[in-house]
Structure 1
Amino acid sequence: MVLINGTEHHAHEIRTEVAELLRPMGLSLSPEKTRVVHMDSGFDFLGWRIQRRKKAGTNRTMIYTYPSKKSLHSIVGKVRFITRRQGSPYKTLEALLQHLNTVVRGWCLYFRHGVSKATFSYLAYYTWWAVARWLKKRHPRLGWRKIKRRFLTEKPDQRPEENGTVLYNPSDIAIERYRYRGNTIPTPWSARAEQLEQAATPA
């Protein structure tokens, strides 16, 4: 990912320059995966959606990074597969939760550095109901009241639990935003810009 402060023409120039820089290393840009886009339109990168948007309640615009729809669809699909009601390999709720918690917690830890609170809340809601449906299918002779009494923690949380293993709640994870370090990360263009600035300065 390369970000520039300029026009589309400048972006295409940098794209050519990057291709030339990679060529001696035996690397090349993939035509299918390399695009020039405006920050206002946004783009997906390593599971993130990066986009400039207006800050709520103000006229200021800021760069936001949050889980992409594709990433959310991926973790929802994994939760759906783990809690499937047909052909489930888990004999106990404890075994199900141990696997599910590992998958969901790992996904949330990756995305905890972005604007992910709303996404985590949705994922918490989705996983809770997915496990609840698994329980109802697993114990068809038990009514929902008995299932709640046997497999859910006390109010107000009422999380699915067995033998001390409790369903992980993505809403509990703390959001830790990355500090901006763009000006402190050296690049080949940093040195070039400094040289051009020195050449333009009168002796």
Structure 2
Amino acid sequence: MLDPMGLRLSVEKTMVTHIDTGFDFLGWRIQRRRIRGHGGKTAIYTYPSRKSLASVKDKVRLLTRRASHRTLADLLRRLNPALRGWCTYFQHGVVKHLFSYIDHFAFWRIVGWLKKRHPKLNMRTLVRRHLPGWQIRDQGVEFFRCQQVTVARYRYRGTRIPTPWTSTASA
């Protein structure tokens, strides 16, 4: 199948594994699992790998260091594109719970950054001044909420996906 296209498998890079064990590919974890509430039926699930989840958490940690930014608006200008890009890439998988987790993680890292930035303010004053209504915004820049990203799973397209191995003139 690969020879007509001029391709061949590399022994060093090729791994054969069972789909129930799963594998990581381009930041995704692809694995067959049982469907909840459907007895023994199974389906193939795609969700972010542990490595990609760790990388976005590390990026949030790196950006929310105390000395990195002068104002909250600067922090949000750097943090929002990173979160938006990660969510956009993974919005087509099984990720709603992870989006909520990353949103919670980033929110409390920003609150921690604010607490370190203003050490003499107690939490009540900090919330009143910098987090009105528990919304993080400053100078017209608002914190990107990952949990509000809509998850759009791909639908089964089956026979409508063109392949180079089937002929279209079979009528």
- Percent identical residues: 50
Deviation at 1:28, TM superposition (A): 4.5
Name 1:146's counterpart in structure 2: 125
Structure 1 gaps of 5+ residues are 1-16, 196-203
**Letter matched to residue 61 of structure 2:** R
Report which of the two has the higher share of helix: 1
Name 2:113's counterpart in structure 1: 134
Query: Is residue 35 of structure 2 the alignment partner of residue 70 of structure 1?
Result: no
Of the candidates 33, 44, 52, which is equivalent to residue 24 of structure 2? 44
Name 2:145's counterpart in structure 1: 169
**How many matched pairs?**
168
Cα distance between partner residues in 2 of 1:74 and 1:32: 25
Cα distance between partner residues in 2 of 1:146 and 1:30: 60
**Letter matched to residue 64 of structure 2:** T
Name 1:55's counterpart in structure 2: 35
Query: Is residue 160 of structure 2 the alignment partner of residue 184 of structure 1?
Result: yes
On the 8 A contact 1:75/1:107 being kept in 2, the answer is yes
Cα distance between partner residues in 2 of 1:83 and 1:165: 16
Structure 1's 83 and 114: CA in aligned 2 closer, same or farther, altered over 3 A? same
Of the candidates 56, 62, 67, which is equivalent to residue 81 of structure 1? 62
Cα-to-partner distance string for 1:70-118 (whole Å, 9 max, x where unaligned)? 1111110100000012x41x11001101110111011101111111001
Cα distance between partner residues in 1 of 2:166 and 2:17: 23
CA RMSD of aligned residues (A): 1.9
Rg larger in structure: 1
**Letter matched to residue 156 of structure 2:** Y
Taking structure 1 as the reference length, the TM-score comes to 0.76
Deviation at 1:161, TM superposition (A): 1.7
Q: Which has the higher contact order (CA 8 A, sep 6+)?
A: 2
Q: Stretches of 4+ moved more than 4 A in 1?
A: none
Cα distance between partner residues in 1 of 2:108 and 2:43: 35
Structure 1's 32 and 70: CA in aligned 2 closer, same or farther, altered over 3 A? farther
